[in-house]
Chains A and B, each alone.
Chain A
Amino acid sequence: MTDPILTVRDVQVTFDLGSVFRPSEILGVAGVSLEVRPGETFALVGESGSGKTTLARAINGLQAISEGEIAFEGRRIDTLSRKEMQPIRQRMSMMFQDPVGSLSPRMTVGDLVTEPFAIHGQQIDRRAEVERLLSLVGLPADFATRFPHQLSGGQARRVGVARAIALDPALVIADEPTAGLDVSVQGEVLNLLNDLRERLGLAMVIITHNLHVVHHVADRMAVMYLGRFVETGPTEAVFRAPIHPYTKALISANPEPDPDRAHDRISLPAEVPSLLARPSGCEFHTRCPWARDVCATTLPPRVTIDGQTATCHFPLRQETAA
């Protein structure tokens, strides 16, 4: 097995709330660990407020961490200064949620896709490079003179992809790559990412709340709840037989476009608890349909079955799925 390209170990992110006089802080990411290997796609799944975007930003060095460590290509990066981080940024790029909003509005597409070269002071044949990048993401070369507001969501997303792969990185972090896109375009973007990954040998971390997206692109996935991983494992195994009740609820919560389908749905009562008042014991017990007394008092144990790991007192299955 190859060495992981990205290692995240026991990472915590805290946010300061309150004032100088009444300091208080909340745990946005509460100790998570993961590994991504070259060429692999790892998905972070969770509802809003689960800490998935915060974790992604921490990996990318946009968000300081308070505990743990992050290593990229064998080198610890969470302690680096902005200047020291500079060369790392050529090897690791990030795509942001809003396809149009993540593009600087007064720059042309040509300027946008070549900006990484400008930032890192690389001399290039601008015209040739713009043409190469646009054709990689399937946009005609004459798009180079357009501005972001003249692009549709799907086209803007392609520009974002082109920029993310411009410097030939080893890892791309994609925050909600299909957010804000029409259904007929979502597939295009996912196909493009899959295709580029194969051609360029990229590793990817995809952050999304859309489980259907995960199903089609990710090799492994982690389900986040209140800043912790409640379940991790190979995507197909997790979809086929989730261990944690939350995972099962999330999978069943996705309405399917079939009016005749009977919904054996697990409906989750109540809302996601506030990070300011984390529940005791298993943090999911306030919403879990299977919760019993012990769940409210005792931290759940870690259960591992066939490389699938979850933290739960009463896992939905005990042994290898048939």
Chain B
Amino acid sequence: MTVLSISNLNVVFSTEDGPLHALKDVSFDVPANRIVGIVGESGCGKSTLINAILGLLADNGHIDGGAIRFEGDTDLTTLGPDAMRDLRGPRIATVFQDPMGALNPVLSVGAQMVNIQYRSGRSKAEKRARAVEMLEQVRIPDAAAAIKRYPHEFSGGMKQRIAIAMALMMEPALLIADEPTTALDATLEVATIEMLKDLQQKIGCSILFISHHLGVIAELCDDVVVMYAGEVVERGTTRAIFNDPRHPYTARLLECDPARQTERTRNLPTIPGEIPDLRARPPGCIFANRCHRREDVCARPPPDIQIGGGHAARCHLADMPEMEVAP
């Protein structure tokens, strides 16, 4: 069963200089009990995608075709604002880069965690017990005392863990985590993703994990979706994407990560060029202007080529993996 199924989603923003096609034919699934990572650089449409799922697109943006199915048949693109509000929180939870977005600075952590459970029908004591239990799960030391404290009394890493505890308290079907570890130090980052993985398995939810950090994605996620300029250029299992990338952008992006260069080098690989203007998308492949494998055929819109096992790439040349060129 899939928790979230996005098919041919298009999002358009109207700007002073004409319509801006921020998402184009985005399709992917988040299966139950899996962690799906979204990788992409700035301008790839990650934020627009999250806002579209949550029904929080800016006033000048609208969904221009496509469907976002949640837990089977509900199409989120057709739900009214009230129905969406009921879903956000209990069924679709979110964690963002800045945990203070989720924490109210003038309420104690315990009070906020009790408030979230207002629809649970539990007694006050049960709610408190549940709050303490969640804080223990995210490894906040001395949780029983910690619920009386205020957000500013915790370090950045702890605040983010509390935000995660709050997001998962109502056992949502889907957690959307937008760069939740980006602001954390490396040692805290790994601790946080390990904790997230544990909790996901305990609760049995799915996670849509957005990050630009390839190492974190490789470690945490089961499946990966690679986005570029508002399109899903490649998707598949983490192993398939990292070991057998079929889209030239994915391949180059992986090469660029300094962590992949185990040998010390003075010349790090890069992807020259810029993302094209999304108000005037090229008719063919969106990556063609920066692609080192560009051919004549790339001036035509590329198909989503299935490689097998759910691995697909939007590239004319996806069937012909890059030959290892001897140096």
Show the binding face of A for B, using Cβ within 8 Å: 47-48, 152-153, 182-188, 190-191, 194, 209-213, 215-216, 235-236, 249-250, 253-260, 263, 265, 267-268, 270-272
Whole-angstrom distance from the CB of B253 to the nearest CB of chain A? 6
Inter-subunit contact B212/A259 (CB<8 Å) = no
Known contacts A253-B190, A255-B218; is-contact A187 B212 (Cβ 8 Å): no
Whole-angstrom distance from the CB of A226 to the nearest CB of chain B? 13
Q: Does residue B71 face the partner (Cβ distance < 8 Å to A)? A: no
Q: Does residue B271 face the partner (Cβ distance < 8 Å to A)? A: yes
Inter-subunit contact B218/A256 (CB<8 Å) = yes
Contacts of B186 in A (CB 8 A): 47, 209, 211, 250, 253-254
Known contacts A254-B186, A255-B190; is-contact A183 B239 (Cβ 8 Å): no
Inter-subunit contact A182/B41 (CB<8 Å) = yes
Q: Which of B1-9, B21-29, B259-267, B297-305 contacts A (4 or more CB under 8 A)?
A: B259-267
Known contacts A255-B189, A259-B239, A259-B242; is-contact A187 B42 (Cβ 8 Å): no
Inter-subunit contact A183/B212 (CB<8 Å) = yes
Inter-subunit contact A186/B214 (CB<8 Å) = no
Q: Does residue B198 face the partner (Cβ distance < 8 Å to A)? A: no
Contacts of B157 in A (CB 8 A): 271
Inter-subunit contact B218/A183 (CB<8 Å) = no
Inter-subunit contact A255/B215 (CB<8 Å) = yes
Write the chain A residue with the least CB distance to B184. A48
Write the chain A residue with the least CB distance to B186. A253
Inter-subunit contact A184/B215 (CB<8 Å) = no
Inter-subunit contact A263/B219 (CB<8 Å) = yes
Whole-angstrom distance from the CB of A234 to the nearest CB of chain B? 11
Within residues 250 to 272 of chain B, which ones have a CB less than 8 A from any CB in chain A?
Answer: 252-254, 256-261, 264-272
Cα distance A75–B272 in the bound complex, in angstroms:
42
Contacts of A258 in B (CB 8 A): 218, 242, 260
Inter-subunit contact B264/A216 (CB<8 Å) = yes
Write the chain B residue with the least CB distance to A274. B155
Write the chain A residue with the least CB distance to B185. A47
Inter-subunit contact B259/A185 (CB<8 Å) = no
Contacts of A270 in B (CB 8 A): 141
Inter-subunit contact B266/A194 (CB<8 Å) = yes
Which of A186, A215, A254 contacts B264 (CB under 8 A)? A215
Among all A-B residue pairs, the 8 with the closest Cβ atoms = A255-B215, A187-B268, A257-B214, A182-B41, A212-B258, A184-B271, A47-B185, A187-B270
Whole-angstrom distance from the CB of B234 to the nearest CB of chain A? 15
Write the chain A residue with the least CB distance to B188. A271
Contacts of A259 in B (CB 8 A): 218-219, 238-239, 242-243
Cα distance A257–B239 in the bound complex, in angstroms:
10
User: Looking at chain B, what size class is its interface with the partner chain?
Assistant: 35 or more
Q: Does residue B213 face the partner (Cβ distance < 8 Å to A)? A: yes
In the complex, besides A216-B264, A255-B259, A270-B141, 8 extra interface pairs with C-beta distance below 8 angstroms are A48-B156, A182-B41, A182-B42, A183-B214, A213-B258, A255-B189, A255-B218, A260-B239
Inter-subunit contact B190/A216 (CB<8 Å) = no
Q: Does residue B191 face the partner (Cβ distance < 8 Å to A)? A: yes
Which of A47, A209, A254, A257 contacts B254 (CB under 8 A)? A257
Cα distance A259–B35 in the bound complex, in angstroms:
14
Whole-angstrom distance from the CB of B34 to the nearest CB of chain A? 14
Give the secondary structure class of B's interface. helix
Known contacts A152-B274, A215-B264, A259-B242; is-contact A182 B258 (Cβ 8 Å): no
Q: Does residue B288 face the partner (Cβ distance < 8 Å to A)? A: no
Q: Does residue B193 face the partner (Cβ distance < 8 Å to A)? A: yes
Cα distance A226–B255 in the bound complex, in angstroms:
34
Cα distance A209–B253 in the bound complex, in angstroms:
21
Known contacts A255-B216, A260-B243; is-contact A184 B256 (Cβ 8 Å): yes
Cα distance A187–B42 in the bound complex, in angstroms:
16
Cα distance A48–B186 in the bound complex, in angstroms:
10
Write the chain B residue with the least CB distance to A155. B274
Contacts of A256 in B (CB 8 A): 215, 218-219, 259-260
Known contacts A182-B212, A258-B242; is-contact A236 B264 (Cβ 8 Å): yes
Between B190, B217, B271, the greatest number of chain A beta carbons within 10 A of the residue's beta carbon is seen for B190
Within residues 142 to 169 of chain B, which ones have a CB less than 8 A from any CB in chain A?
Answer: 155-158
Inter-subunit contact B274/A255 (CB<8 Å) = no
Q: Does residue B120 face the partner (Cβ distance < 8 Å to A)? A: no
Inter-subunit contact B270/A191 (CB<8 Å) = yes
Contacts of B60 in A (CB 8 A): none
Write the chain B residue with the least CB distance to A287. B187
Contacts of B252 in A (CB 8 A): 184
Inter-subunit contact A249/B187 (CB<8 Å) = yes
Write the chain A residue with the least CB distance to B156. A48
Cα distance A235–B264 in the bound complex, in angstroms:
10
Inter-subunit contact B270/A255 (CB<8 Å) = no
Known contacts A188-B270, A256-B218; is-contact A265 B258 (Cβ 8 Å): no
Within residues 271 to 302 of chain B, which ones have a CB less than 8 A from any CB in chain A?
Answer: 271-272, 274
Inter-subunit contact B215/A254 (CB<8 Å) = yes
Contacts of B259 in A (CB 8 A): 212, 254-257
Cα distance A43–B217 in the bound complex, in angstroms:
27
Known contacts A153-B42, A236-B264, A259-B219; is-contact A268 B254 (Cβ 8 Å): no
Inter-subunit contact B270/A216 (CB<8 Å) = no
Can you list 23 A-B pairs, Cβ within 8 angstroms, ordered by A? A48-B185, A182-B41, A182-B212, A183-B257, A187-B268, A190-B258, A209-B185, A212-B257, A212-B261, A216-B266, A236-B264, A250-B186, A253-B186, A254-B186, A255-B218, A255-B259, A256-B259, A257-B260, A258-B260, A259-B239, A259-B242, A267-B187, A271-B157
Write the chain B residue with the least CB distance to A217. B266
Inter-subunit contact B189/A253 (CB<8 Å) = yes
Cα distance A259–B218 in the bound complex, in angstroms:
5
